[in-house]
Amino acid sequence: MAEHRFDHLVDTANGTISRELFVSDDVHRAEQEHLFSRAWLFIGHESQIPNPGDFFTSRMGEESVILCRDRASKVHVFLNTCRHRGMKVCRYDEGNTPLLTCPYHAWSYSLDGKLVGVPMYDKLYEGVLDRAAWSLIEVPQLANYKGAVFATWDPLAPPFEEYLGGARDHLDLVLDASEGRAGGTEVVGGIQKWIVPSNWKFGTENFMGDSYHNVSHRSVDLVGISPNARSGIKGRRASELPGTEHVWLSYPQGHGVHSLRLPVENEYVDAFRDEPEVEAYFRRCYDERKTRLGPERSRWVGLVGSIFPNLSFHGRQPHSLFVWHPHGPRSMEVWRFYLVDRAAPEPVKDFLRHYYMRYSGPGGMTEQDDMENWNYATAASSGTIARRYPYNYQQSMHASVSSAPGTMQTTQINEQNSRDFYRRWVDYVSNRDWNVLMGRDVL
Ligand code: FES
Ligand code: FE
């Protein structure tokens, strides 16, 4: 494999990563050019666009895209730019429309992307403008995985499920409903969006399993915001069943997860004791899930994880998906999508929505701590002198073992997931081919 100018920034053998990854314009440009233009990216959830004509404006890297459902109910993802002079065709966050009409000179596009309206066409364009050739620019590949819509700009990218690899089992723990029904979740409430003066990779890495930073959440744990808080139980989430094992896995495609494995003999632990209706619902789901998935598979519970490059999730509490959108090298826009079981009673959804907001987002007591760390780390890494010194990634250097080809697993807090993420990251920004990016070259 040919040496690339970015290779020296990532030294996983010695556990060092250059600060350039988090502050440099040059690195940021390479990410836009070679990483966000090729990787599969999360766009939105189909529950946000249930009806024909529904749209949700999303992002792929730094570019705006429109997720919409056409009149035949087919889902599309278009670049949000007019083919005439580039005006943003859709300036709303979400809604329903029969047509996407450009505000500048009023070219109109149908929800399947076709250019259907050009003012004064007969007089000004007849015989010259081939409308069929000037549709909205559509992604060449789109995947709807259990309601979560992903897309890539690369026609040569492998199919989404191959891209997911073994991390799929853990994403399932997020997208499936609590009673184990495949893809039985939906987005509740609006999307929370906010800007953090930090590089996007801080988010991805934190959610690959950086439990080491729990100390920074000490104050919220002392306050106690868990669903059992009114019963005087401290912490951020409900208690774990004694004997639960924490498992970290990193995958050859660059994904990393931190999931829980319950003991063989397991039972429901009170998680919503202040709310009898919510508690009864989740107790029933627990038993149903065991029956549906069987004793082995039902032992796995999702905690956190990141799908390469910028989708992360909370599997259990607060159940959500979030995206770290780059906004230049030292700024990101965070989007949080909160999930609930589609079939849950309304009071359950409502209770969860309140808990999620207490925990997450710019006003959430837990997430504020993370923002503060990433914000100041970025500022303190940006100076000429600071940039000469790499970050340390030597934690649990030899703890992980191979559990499947290209997959590393451990039960101790580690930075293996991060090291493996950055090893894959450097392959993307160096524009290496899909054999390398999928880890096929070492399998
Ligand atoms: Fe859209 Fe001119 S830029 S119609
Ligand atoms: Fe945190």
Pocket of ligand 1 contains residue 104 by CB under 6 Å: yes
Average the pLDDT over 53-73 and give the result: 98
Contact 194, 333 (CB under 8 A): yes
Average pLDDT over residues 134-146: 98
Look at residue 443 and tell me whether its pLDDT is greater than 70: no
Residue 194 has pLDDT above 80, yes or no: yes
Query: How many domains would you assign to the chain?
Result: 2
Please state, in angstroms and rounded to a whole number, the distance separating the CA atoms of residues 167 and 173. Answer: 10
Confidence band for 229, pLDDT divided at 50, 70 and 90: confident
Q: Is the CB of 107 within 6 Å of ligand 1?
A: yes
The DSSP bridge pattern shows strands 245-250 and 320-326 to be: unpaired
Reading the block at residue 28, the tokens are 């940021």
134 with 252, same domain: the answer is: no
Instruction: Note whether 347 and 236 are same-domain residues.
Output: yes
> Would you state the structure tokens that stand for residue 83, as one six-digit string?
């083919």
As a whole number, mean pLDDT of residues 78-97 equals: 98
Residue 389 lies in a domain: yes
> What is the rounded distance in angstroms from the CA atom of residue 411 to the CA atom of residue 209?
11
> Token pair 């101790």 is at which residue?
412
Regarding the beta carbon of 218 and ligand 1, being less than 6 Å apart is answered: no
> Which pLDDT belongs to residue 40?
98
User: Can you tell me the mean pLDDT for 220-226?
Assistant: 90
Q: Edge-to-edge, what's the strand order for the sheet holding 141-145?
A: 41-45, 148-152, 141-145
* Judgement on whether residues 69 and 210 belong to the same structural domain of the protein: no
* Best probe residue, ligand 1, of 78, 87, 129 (max atoms within 8 Å of C-beta): 87
Counting from 1 in the atom list of ligand 1, the atom nearest the Cα of 106 is: 4
Judge contact between 78 and 101, C-beta under 8 A.
Answer: no
Is 119 within a domain?
A: yes
For the chain, the average pLDDT equals 96
Of 184-188, 278-282, 360-364, 435-439, minimum mean pLDDT range: 360-364
| Gyration radius of the chain over CA positions | 23
pLDDT digits (tens, 9 = 90+) for 372-389: 999 999 999 999 999 999
Domain boundaries, position 50? 42-142
Residue 156 forms part of a structural domain: no
Output the residue whose Cα is nearest ligand 1's atom 4.
105
Establish if 25 belongs to a structural domain. Answer: no
CB-based burial of residue 159 (10 Å sphere; 0-12 exposed, 13-18 middle, 19+ buried)?
exposed
273 CB near ligand 1 (under 6 Å): no
Tell me which of 82, 107, 142 is where a domain ends.
142
* Average pLDDT value for residue range 23-37: 98
Is the domain of 124 the same as that of 190? no
Residue 28 within a domain:
no
Distance CA 197, CA 88 (A): 25
pLDDT at 332: 98
- Whether the CB-CB separation of 69 and 112 falls below 8 Å is answered with no
Tens of pLDDT, residue by residue over 233-271, are 888 998 899 999 999 999 999 999 999 999 999 999 999
Measured by CA distance, the residue closest to atom 3 of ligand 1 is 85
Same domain, 255 and 201: yes
Contact 199, 330 (CB under 8 A): yes
What is the enclosing helix (H) or strand (E) of 94? strand 94-96
Specify the residue with its C-alpha closest to ligand 1, atom 2: 105
Q: How far is residue 184's CA from residue 397's CA, in Å, rounded to a whole number? A: 38
The string of pLDDT tens digits covering residues 97-129 is 999 999 999 999 999 999 999 999 999 999 999
- Give pLDDT, residue 82: 98
Q: Is residue 136's pLDDT more than 70?
A: yes
The CATH number given to whatever domain includes residue 165 is 3.90.380.10
Q: What percent of the chain has pLDDT over 90?
A: 93
Instruction: Check whether 274 has a pLDDT greater than 90.
Output: no
- Cβ partners under 8 Å of residue 247, min gap 6: 258, 259, 260, 261, 409, 410, 411
Q: How far is the CA of 193 from the centre of ligand 2 (A)?
A: 17
Whether residue 197 sits in one domain with residue 111:
no
Ligand 1 pocket mutation, candidates 104, 109, 118, criterion most atoms within 8 A of CB: 104
Same domain, 127 and 222: no
- Strands 115-117 and 54-60, how do they pair? unpaired
Tell me: the pLDDT tens digits for 31-56? 999 999 999 999 999 999 999 999 99
Statement: residue 93 has pLDDT above 80: yes
Alpha carbon distance 294, 311 (integer Å): 29
